[in-house]
Chain A
Amino acid sequence: VVSTQSTASFKNHEMDPFLLKKIPKDTVSRLEEFALYLRESKKERRSYVSVVKTVNVFRDLICTADWVTARELIKIIKCYCKYLPLSQSNETDVSNVVRRILKIIREENAGPEATNLADGISAFFKSDMKPSNLGRSDLQDNILNSIVELLVELDTSKSNIINMALEHIHSNERILTYGHSNTIRDFLLHGRRARDFEVIVCESGPSLQGHRMAAELSAGGIKTTVIADSAAFAIIHAVNKVIIGTHTIMADGALRAANGVHQLAMAAKYFSVPVIVCAALYKLSPTHLCSYDPDAFNKVIGPENMLNFSNAKLHSKVLISNPDFDYVPSDLIELFITNTGGHAPSYLYRIISELYHPDDYDLDNMCVETVEDEL
């Protein structure tokens, strides 16, 4: 359950004094502003916007903080991460980008002979965090160059995905989609340029995001049909494929998607209709589902869209559940279309080992490197 703090109580949540020593005053105010921005989790906030914001804030932190070795820098970044509300279900895209930045720092520090953990067991025993020959300014330049490359990758991630539309949509097809997703909308509109097909949109639950998606798709010239979520099983046998977006991709290829996607995927599996997920790689999170307990995985939001408050007598007597997310196991998903191409769910573990370092999987863990600590 998410607890939103008021601004007044937020100001009492102080940054770690270690952190305050290392950062100049004006950066501190920018860091606090960013934490406030995350705390005011607006539902319609686009993940791409918050991801770019995150990179800029951390770039700022890297330039202005007081550090000499990469090890110190990572400690500072992890200290700031403890201050951010990253454990809320909404913030996986921000956490993933922070993990990317930490991986960049580790790689630049290790230099050209950097060992890739995916390459073998011996890599586990080599330390990436030995103080590099480069001084702070050179190391910082390298890191900032890599961060610029990361920004370019984030910028082009959506266009890379939608350029694959023509490989996956053929003429006279019927495609089923669920709710609203900017990526899927642009994917389908790009496909419309060369192919003629129909889209069926599920309304998607109390929020009715599907209506917005249908309006945007039909404005783009695609024949769209809106159905209620309960009708998904009834029409899915007549559909060629299901193309959906997601909020997060878990490490084993499972999804944390909009509420109602799990049952849609189950119906698709029953009729052997392929389910294709289009998502950029900053949504790929190296976390697994640890518990089916709703508080650990899901977020429950207010029921005013489900049952009017004018029905107050009923509200007080009935337990109303309005979960925000849905867990979709990876065996229900056929293909992931990401900015690096199409991948089977079974391949994602490999991408994770390339993108993130194992010591960063848990951002609450202040340990910089397990190898040296154990030795």
Chain B
Amino acid sequence: VRKQWYQRRVRGHSQTHSSCFQNIYLAGKSITEKAVNRIVNGDTILIFKKSQLILHILLEAKAQNKEFKVVVVDSRPDLSGVSSCERLTAAGIPCSYVYINSSTYIMKKVTKVMLAADALLANGYVLGPVGTAMMGLIANTYNKPVIVCCETYKFCERVQTDSILYNELADPDSMLKTLNAEESPVAGWRESPNTRLVNLVYDTTPPALVSIVITEIAELPCSSAPVVLRRGAVKM
């Protein structure tokens, strides 16, 4: 479906713009080819929440008739892993679903961890949805390879060593949503002077926790990020 969407977009735009979209589409396609090669029969792959690219990779691997299972790790408050599960089960891939709290419980049975990145910083840190760093840490402790899939247009000259200095805050009231329709005890947090809800959007994963970064030009270690930036691979 994604391929058709991109092709429609490319056809619909004028000549000057089409190469732009082609680069975005081809980047995803190239990463998918490389990543699918790394999936073998019998794998149990752990993914974190929802990412178009990772889902595309898994669906492509299934289309190539590879036998594997997926563990979807989800976290509050947005719970986007549910829609990941829906897409994977629709394609016939056996799925497990856990919250991030239970990730140490299931990590033993996992063979690889595939994470998506929102950006790759110049010092090798991976910026991803909050919780990515935790997945990287746990995977490292249990000696599972961590594969980060990131297109080169996401590489960034910024450097950052921690997650707090530069981040985004999402709506704090979304943390109050509970699935069992009971009101949260901190529902009146705005009236209380002592309570705050903090809903971070991103976090940075140190490069030591990442095994490999798959980009459309090559499969690199995290430390190669400045080399790619210097090479100017991003020609938009």
Contacts and interface: CB of A to CB of B under 8 A. Distances in A.
Interface of A: 203-206, 208, 211-212, 214-219, 221-235, 237-238, 259-260, 262-263, 266-267, 270, 292, 294, 298, 304-308, 311, 314, 317-323, 326
A314 B192 contact: no
Given A227-B200, A238-B164, A320-B96, A263 B104 contact: yes
Contacts of A263: 100-101, 103-104, 134, 137-138
B95 A208 contact: no
A259 to B, nearest CB: 5
B223 interface: no
Interface of B: 75-77, 82, 85-86, 89, 94-106, 108, 130-131, 133-134, 137-138, 141, 162-164, 167, 175-176, 178-180, 184-186, 189, 192, 194-200, 203-204
- Please provide the 6 A-B residue pairs with the shortest distance between their CB atoms, ordered closest to farther: A230-B131, A260-B101, A218-B194, A234-B163, A215-B185, A205-B101
B137 A266 contact: yes
A291 B4 CA distance: 50
Contacts, number: 169
Question: Do most interface residues of chain B lie in helix, strand or loop, or is the interface mixed?
Answer: mixed
Contacts of B167: 234
B101 A307 contact: no
Contacts of B164: 234-235, 238
A234 B103 CA distance: 17
A122 to B, nearest CB: 44
B154 to A, nearest CB: 19
B96 A305 contact: no
B130 A234 contact: yes
Contacts of B203: 230-231, 233-234
B162 A237 contact: yes
A225 B192 CA distance: 12
A20 B184 CA distance: 48
Given A228-B76, A229-B76, A235-B163, A321 B96 contact: yes
29 contacts: A205-B102, A206-B101, A215-B185, A223-B194, A223-B196, A225-B197, A226-B196, A226-B198, A228-B76, A229-B76, A230-B134, A230-B203, A232-B134, A234-B167, A235-B164, A260-B99, A266-B138, A298-B105, A304-B179, A305-B180, A306-B179, A311-B82, A314-B86, A318-B89, A318-B95, A321-B97, A321-B106, A322-B98, A323-B102
